[in-house]
Each structure stands twice: as structure tokens, then as C-alpha cells.
Amino acid sequence: MSKRSLKNKISKKLDQLSGLLDNIDEARIINTDDLDTWDPDVLYNLAENLKETLKLLEDQKIKGKYDEFGQPLTEDGLCSLVDIYQEEQEDDDYGK
């Protein structure tokens, strides 16, 4: 994967992460001392946003796609993409 392509993927996923974190932050309206803020819709939305955040961060199996050994192919999550980017940076720095 080229460095430019990797940076674009990371940037796109970081933008998605930012939006999800904004949605997650909305749950802060819940106040333990104020029963009027106890909204189940906010909690269900929080749960869905947390699931989406994990999907974005973690590697995901690609349905119906397998390698030559029958192992499922995966799409790199944000954590893996950043690891790959940093490893490439270190390799570049080491090569200088």
C-alpha cells in the first residue's frame, strides 16, 4: 500500500471517528441526579455509536472473501492502519 493511500485511509477513518465521538459525547446530558435526563433513546444511540466506533478501530472480516488457505480476509481498522504507518515511518527513518 502506498504511503499516500495509507494516509488517505487513515484520514478518512479519523474523520469518521471524530463524528462518532461527537455522537457519543451527546450521552453526557445524562445526569445521575436529574431523572429528567434519563433518556433510553440516548443510551440506545450510545450503544450503537460505541459498536460503530469499535468496528472502525478494529480489523473487520470481509464477508465471503478468503485467502488461498481458506482464512477470511480482513479490512484493516484504524488501529492497524496507524501501526502500519508508524512502522513505515520508522523504516524510512532507519534507512536514512
Q: What is the pLDDT of residues 39-95, one digit of tens each?
A: 999 999 999 999 999 999 999 999 999 999 999 999 999 999 999 999 998 888 776
Would the pTM count as exceeding 0.75? yes
CA angle 68, 76, 23 (to 5 degrees): 145
**Mean predicted confidence (pLDDT) in 25-32:** 92
Q: What is the pLDDT of residue 57?
A: 98
The structural domain count of the chain equals: 1
Q: What is the pLDDT of residue 93?
A: 78
Q: What is the pLDDT of residue 96?
A: 60
CB proximity list for 72: less than 8 A, separation 6 or greater: 61, 62, 65, 66
Q: Which domain holds residue 71?
A: 3-95
Residue 65, CB-side half-sphere exposure with 13 Å CA sphere: 7
Q: Are 17 and 54 in contact (CB under 8 A)?
A: no
Q: What is the pLDDT of residue 80?
A: 97
